[in-house]
Structure 1
Amino acid sequence: MAWSGWIGTAAGRIGARQAELKLALRVTVAGTLAYAITKFFSLPQGYWAAITAVVVTQASLGGSLKAAIERFLGTLAGAAYGGLVAALVPHESPLGMGLAVILGLFPLALLASIWPSFRVAPVTGLIMLLPPTGQAIGPISAAVDRVAEITLGNVVGVVISLFVVPARAHTLMMEAAARVVSLNAGLIELHISELLAEPKGRSALQTIHPRIRAALKKAEAAAEEAARERRSHLTGAPDPEPLIRTLYRVRHDLVMIGRASASPLPERILDRLGPSLRALRDETCALLLDIAQSLRTRTPPPNAGTFEAALRAFMSETESLRSHAFSQDLPYGRFGQVFALGFAFEQFRKNVSDLLARTEELAQKGNAEAAG
């Protein structure tokens, strides 16, 4: 019984790490295949091809393309310039080597500081001046061999990312976006519970905000890689940028809702608004969780009718409260808190409508791509 429980726990943990396991498999296959190819062709510096294949193989195809392009450009620039310095500047003596290193590193380091895509260039240039093989076979031959082997590693890394349990950046972006939306549901629940004098704990708010920021950054990074896949005609997925913009607008709305929910409402207001506010909280959380599920599965988004009905009911109660006699006895700031919340939710409704439209578009394009 103990063994079965342990096996079940291990299987559950492994199942939750499928993306990481796939990446580990791709990296292993890429490094091994690149090494085997270099041995087959007897390349003198073949280890660079294996190292490059490992470096280039990223979590998604778009990420692999970015790493391959940057490593190739940096290697080409560093090998060409470093080989030129090695050929023209005598560096047999320590003083000559120091001068060659200065002449070789500074321009390449400046290039990398201006264009980060060339950040590997200074490393390559320095290697061109220092490698034992470069001293033995000559700087020009060493430069040609290094570029050829880095190119081979780039090709192997991208091909493995394309065909070995491939992970499209668009899929990773959808998963990250779904994570953002589901965390937003938890944030809404915390904010409105604070407003209803049903606090879930300030520590929970302090914990969830960093998680949302991290998920947004992950979604944005995946969107950049997905855009690169689209530009390379490796996918027919829709432009990811509108979804990311919408997620940030929703994030801004939640900040406004949080400000309006910073302190509980007075008891007299809660007596009137409590039921409609609880209904609005519950329907908002349900809608966001359903949208998150739709993003994960690329299925049509849910109907927002019940959420909009709950929002209308809350706004109606708010308007009736305005004309209620006892509202005149309340401090303006506390009563204005209610209308600030209503305004924030109205902006939230507009951006959620946009989020639903983006989810619908992604579902349609995803189904069309799968059918094709």
Structure 2
Amino acid sequence: MASSGWLERIMGRIGARQAELKLALRVTIAATLAFAITKAFNLPQGYWAAITAVVVTQSSVGGSLKAAIERFMGTLAGAFYGGLIAAFIPHTSLSGVGLAMIVSLFPLALLAAVNSSFRVAPVTALIMLLPPTGQAIGPLTAAIDRVVEITLGNIVGVVVSLFVLPARAHTLMMESAAKVVSLNASLIEILIGELTAEPKGRSTLQTIHPQIRAALKKAESAADEAARERKSHLTDSADPEPLIRTLYRVRHDLVMIGRASANPLPEPVLDKLGPALKSLRDETCLLLRGLAKSLRTRTTPPDASSFQTALHTFVSETEGLRSHALSHDLSYGSFGQVFALGFAFEQFRKDLEDLLARTQELAADRASEATGN
């Protein structure tokens, strides 16, 4: 029994790391294949192709394309310029090597600082200048071999990313977006708990906000890779930018709700608004979690009518405070807090509708792909 439980825990951990295991398998296949090809063509330093294949093979096809393009551009610039310096500046002595390094590295390091796509260029130039490559076979041959090997590694890395357990950046983006939305539901629970004197602790807020920011950053990075896949005609998926833009707007709305929820509502106001506020919390969380599932599976989003009804009830209750006798006994801060909360939820509703529309478009896009239209 003990061994069975131990095995189940191991399998559970493996199952939770499927994406990482697939990436590890792609990297291993890409490096091995690249090295085997260099040996088949008798390239002198085939390990550079294997190293490049490892560097280029990323978690998604779009990420691999980006890495391959940057690696190739940097290598081409470094090999060309480093080869020229190696050919025209004698570097058989220590002082000659030092001068050649200064002349080659400074402009390439400046280029890499201006454009990070060329960050491998200084490394390539340095390899061109130092033995044995540059001196054993000549600068021109060394430059050509270097570019050929890096190009081969780029091609193998991208091809393996495309055909060995491929992970599309669009899928990774949707998973990250779903995580953002799910975390937003947890955040709503905490914020409304602060208002209704059911706090889960300020430390929980300090934990969940960094998680949301990290998930948003990951979704944005995947969206950039997905856009690269679209430009390369590797996918017909919808433009990812509107979804990311909407997620950031929803994030801003939740910050506004958080500011309006900084203090618990006064007891008389809570007696009147508490039921509507808790209903709004429940319906909002239910909708967000359903929406997260729809994003993850790219299916039709859930119906928002219950959320709309709960929000309308809450707003009506807050408006009722204007004529209610309670309003005369409220402090200016408490009265403002109630209406700031209503305004923030109204803005949240508008952006949530936009997020639902983006999710619907993505579901329709997937349905279209499935039918081949």
Q: Give TM-score scaled by structure 2 length.
A: 0.99
Quick one: which amino acid aligns to residue 221 of structure 1? S
- Number of residue pairs matched by the alignment: 372
Quick one: which amino acid aligns to residue 283 of structure 2? E
* Residue in structure 2 matched with residue 288 of structure 1 by the alignment: 288
Report Cα offsets for 1:134-172 as digits up to 9, x if no partner.
Answer: 211000000000000000000000000000000000000
* Residue in structure 2 matched with residue 307 of structure 1 by the alignment: 307
* Residue in structure 1 matched with residue 193 of structure 2 by the alignment: 193
Quick one: which amino acid aligns to residue 20 of structure 2? E
Matched, 1:170 2:152: no
Q: Which runs of 5+ in 2 are unaligned?
A: none
Distance in 1, Cα, partners of 2:43 & 2:88: 26
Report Cα offsets for 1:195-229 as digits up to 9, x if no partner.
Answer: 00100010000000000000000000000000000
Distance in 2, Cα, partners of 1:326 & 1:314: 16
Distance in 2, Cα, partners of 1:367 & 1:55: 35
Report Cα offsets for 1:69-115 as digits up to 9, x if no partner.
Answer: 00000000000000000000001111111000000100101111111
Quick one: which amino acid aligns to residue 64 of structure 1? S
**Aligned partners of 2:127 and 2:133 also within 8 Å:** no
Quick one: which amino acid aligns to residue 43 of structure 1? L
* Residue in structure 2 matched with residue 352 of structure 1 by the alignment: 352
* Residue in structure 1 matched with residue 133 of structure 2 by the alignment: 133
Quick one: which amino acid aligns to residue 129 of structure 2? L
Aligned-residue offset at 1:325: 1.1
* Residue in structure 2 matched with residue 9 of structure 1 by the alignment: 9
Distance in 2, Cα, partners of 1:299 & 1:24: 29
* Residue in structure 1 matched with residue 27 of structure 2 by the alignment: 27
Distance in 2, Cα, partners of 1:61 & 1:290: 28
Distance in 2, Cα, partners of 1:128 & 1:366: 48
Question: Counterparts of 1:113-132 in structure 2 under 5 Å?
Answer: 113-132=113-132
Distance in 2, Cα, partners of 1:12 & 1:155: 35
- Secondary structure of the 2:134 match is helix
Aligned-residue offset at 1:3: 1.1
Distance in 2, Cα, partners of 1:351 & 1:159: 39
* Residue in structure 2 matched with residue 70 of structure 1 by the alignment: 70
Distance in 1, Cα, partners of 2:39 & 2:282: 62
4+ residue runs over 6 A deviation: none
Aligned-residue offset at 1:366: 1.5
Distance in 1, Cα, partners of 2:367 & 2:89: 60
Aligned-residue offset at 1:369: 1.6
Aligned-residue offset at 1:4: 1.0
* Residue in structure 1 matched with residue 204 of structure 2 by the alignment: 204
Distance in 2, Cα, partners of 1:371 & 1:74: 42
Question: Identity across aligned pairs (percent)?
Answer: 76
Aligned-residue offset at 1:348: 0.2
- Secondary structure of the 1:277 match is helix
- Secondary structure of the 1:199 match is coil
* Residue in structure 2 matched with residue 91 of structure 1 by the alignment: 91
Distance in 2, Cα, partners of 1:156 & 1:251: 40
Quick one: which amino acid aligns to residue 39 of structure 2? K
Matched, 1:103 2:103: yes
- Secondary structure of the 1:239 match is coil
Distance in 2, Cα, partners of 1:128 & 1:66: 24
**Aligned partners of 2:63 and 2:169 also within 8 Å:** yes
**Aligned partners of 2:52 and 2:153 also within 8 Å:** yes
Quick one: which amino acid aligns to residue 205 of structure 2? L
Aligned-residue offset at 1:320: 1.0
- Secondary structure of the 1:322 match is coil
Aligned-residue offset at 1:370: 2.9
Aligned-residue offset at 1:288: 0.4
Aligned-residue offset at 1:335: 1.0
Report Cα offsets for 1:283-322 as digits up to 9, x if no partner.
Answer: 0000000000000011000000000000000011111111
Distance in 2, Cα, partners of 1:50 & 1:370: 36
Aligned-residue offset at 1:371: 2.8
Aligned-residue offset at 1:131: 3.3
- Secondary structure of the 2:71 match is helix
Matched, 1:152 2:147: no
Quick one: which amino acid aligns to residue 24 of structure 1? A
Q: Give TM-score scaled by structure 1 length.
A: 0.99
